[in-house]
Chain A
Amino acid sequence: MGMTMAEKVLARASGRPVVVPGEFVTANIDILMGHDRSFYSGYVEMVKCGYERVWDPEKIVVATDHSVPAADIAFADRHRKIREWVKQQGIKSFYDVGEGICHQVLPEKGHALPGSLIVGGDSHTTTYGALGAAGTGIGNSEVTYVMAKGSLWFMVPETIRFILKGTLPQGTSGKDIILNIAGRYTVEVAQYRSAEFAGPAAGALSIGQRMTISNMGVEIGAKFALFEADEKTIAYLKERTHQTVNPFGPDPDARYVQVYELDVSSLEPQIACPHNIDNVKPVSQIGDVPVQQAFLGSCTNGREEDLEQAAAILKGKKVHPGTRLLVIAASHEVYTHLAKSGVVQTLLEAGAMICPSSCGPCAGTKMGVIGPGETAISTTNRNFKGRMGSPEGFVYLASPATVAASAIEGKIADPRKYLR
């Protein structure tokens, strides 16, 4: 009987020839990811539970990315301890402050392989689905459990499929696809399910664009958000891992509980309006919305092509005097490319603030918190009330191109007029 991608991964990881939705399995974990919140808490508890050694240091990836550089003494001390612990445990895949956001460095350094099962102490672990890796978020206690034992219970989810057809129009990107899906089908469409993204328009997306979509898979409820691993995946991973990488996808006779078809040819730039991710409108219906802060970055849209798209719009222009533009590339590697290609120069000349690779203002605790009555337009992934700071603030989510155009005009703007 044919299996979907999630079924195949959980079957292999639990040592069964076949699994079906609804079954409970105990699966061996291929990679555990933790950051300066979840790895820290997870490790402390592991030791308290009486375990001195992690189950397999080669299967653990740690990135300090939430407080970068350390925002207070507590985090500074936490980072110091993390450095000691990874050394003691022999965890070599340790990416210290400034290297980048966990969900960027993990794939960049070749740790997300097609068909693998990855759990991370962060909800956007679904990002690795862009490479055909079944990644999903877990909480601190489960991080502790996996760190000690290397396995975890899973319920095999049902799978839904989004078949993407057509060609993305100029000025639109992967972010607009996932916002459109959220708006059209709501934030519960993939609740407790695995979502597969397939079809010609999915295959046409770069790995970076796929990562944007998989990243926000969790926002529509998905346990896993998977693209088939194809020649693009193999090319991406070629320089980044010694492991053999093969194509990976569902069986031709896999069963889906629901299949959705989308033609991306008629997409407009999309905006998720306060205070819900599925409160989505096309940019033409937004009206006059002044913005005081524009943010380009995050694990959702902090990659080279995201910032290149923004720079193409900002080139030769200036950020509106009433708007602050913050830029955070998702990793040191991305910044290196952007510096060489002149993108950093373009952004600086436009008046952007360039900040260290980290989560930044996404979760509202640092580096660009908004105040009461302020409006931000951002390439991040959540816009709940208070997400970026004041509960009396407003967060709109959009693509890098839309954020760049909005930074120029000081209000939410259609990027397409800058691309003609």
Chain B
Amino acid sequence: MGMIVTGKVWKFGDSIPTDFIAPGFALALPWEERRKHILHVHKTFAQQCQPGDVIVAGSNFGCGSSREEAPADLRQLGIGCVVAESFARTFFRNCVAIGLPVMSCKGVSGMFKEGDRLELDFENAQVRNLTTGQELKGPPLAPDLVNIIRRGGILELLKSEKQGMR
């Protein structure tokens, strides 16, 4: 899978909980219903999000419950990557676990407006605002984590380990 992700930015603020990304009341609903409630705190995201779009957020993105539905539903919507000032650790782990490119980067929230185009060079931990030309470098992920994301998640790793491949 490609390690360069580009897409249109949707912006979110600080401390967005997983309860907003995958609300409890919607968890049992079929996908076509459930998707309408994703990040309902944003007035147009759920209706207008297109596959390939990306998320830029403030601090503590994905706080609260460890529900994996949060990043999984974002991926099912077609979100290409999530970049934020900082992440709650279980959300960050879950993004890695399902193979959704994720990066924390101080200053990234201020560098993007909604609707800008973002380019994330995931392996080199570089994020670029293609609309304004600005760029930032984030802390690189450990090679093992990059490997998990590159494979498409930890279950893919698990399957390959079963087959004796690494």
Residues of A within 8 A of B (CB): 24, 41, 45, 49-51, 74, 121-123, 136-142, 144-145, 148-149, 153, 155, 187-188, 191-192, 218-219, 221, 223, 276, 363-365, 382, 384-387, 389, 391
Shortest beta-carbon distance from B60 to chain A in Å = 5
Instruction: Tell me whether B7 is interfacial, beta carbon within 8 Å.
Output: no
**Contact between B63 and A141, CB atoms less than 8 A apart:** no
- Mask: chain B, 6-46; 1 = CB below 8 Å from A; 0 = not: 00000000010101100111011000000000001100000
A selection of 29 A-B contacts at a CB cut-off of 8 Å is: A24-B144, A24-B145, A45-B155, A49-B162, A137-B90, A138-B66, A139-B68, A139-B93, A141-B153, A141-B154, A142-B97, A145-B97, A145-B157, A153-B144, A155-B142, A187-B63, A188-B86, A191-B89, A221-B60, A221-B63, A221-B88, A363-B24, A365-B27, A382-B19, A384-B19, A385-B20, A385-B41, A386-B24, A391-B40
Contacting residues of chain B (89-107) with chain A, CB-CB under 8 angstroms: 89-90, 92-94, 97-98
Shortest beta-carbon distance from A278 to chain B in Å = 9
- Interchain Cβ contacts within 8 Å, total number: 112
Residues of B within 8 A of A (CB): 15, 17, 19-20, 23-25, 27-28, 40-41, 59-60, 63-68, 86, 88-90, 92-94, 97-98, 142, 144-145, 153-155, 157-159, 161-163
Residues of B within 8 A of A386 (CB): 19-20, 23-25
The docked-state distance in angstroms from the alpha carbon of A140 to that of B98 is 10
**Contact between B68 and A141, CB atoms less than 8 A apart:** yes
- With contacts A363-B24, A384-B17 taken as known, whether A149 is within 8 angstroms of B63 at the C-beta atoms is no
The docked-state distance in angstroms from the alpha carbon of A138 to that of B40 is 25
Residues of A within 8 A of B17 (CB): 382, 384
Residue of B nearest to A123 (CB): B66
Shortest beta-carbon distance from A10 to chain B in Å = 14
Q: Given A51, A144, A191, A365, which contacts B25 in the complex, CB threshold below 8 Å? A: A365
Residue of B nearest to A366 (CB): B24
The docked-state distance in angstroms from the alpha carbon of A122 to that of B90 is 10
Q: Given B15, B89, B142, which contacts A192 in the complex, CB threshold below 8 Å? A: B89
Residues of A within 8 A of B93 (CB): 138-139, 142
The docked-state distance in angstroms from the alpha carbon of A74 to that of B98 is 25
**Contact between A387 and B19, CB atoms less than 8 A apart:** yes
16 more contacts with CB within 8 A, not counting A145-B158, A188-B59, A221-B88, are A41-B68, A49-B162, A121-B66, A136-B89, A138-B66, A139-B66, A139-B68, A139-B97, A141-B154, A141-B155, A145-B97, A145-B155, A191-B60, A191-B89, A363-B24, A386-B20
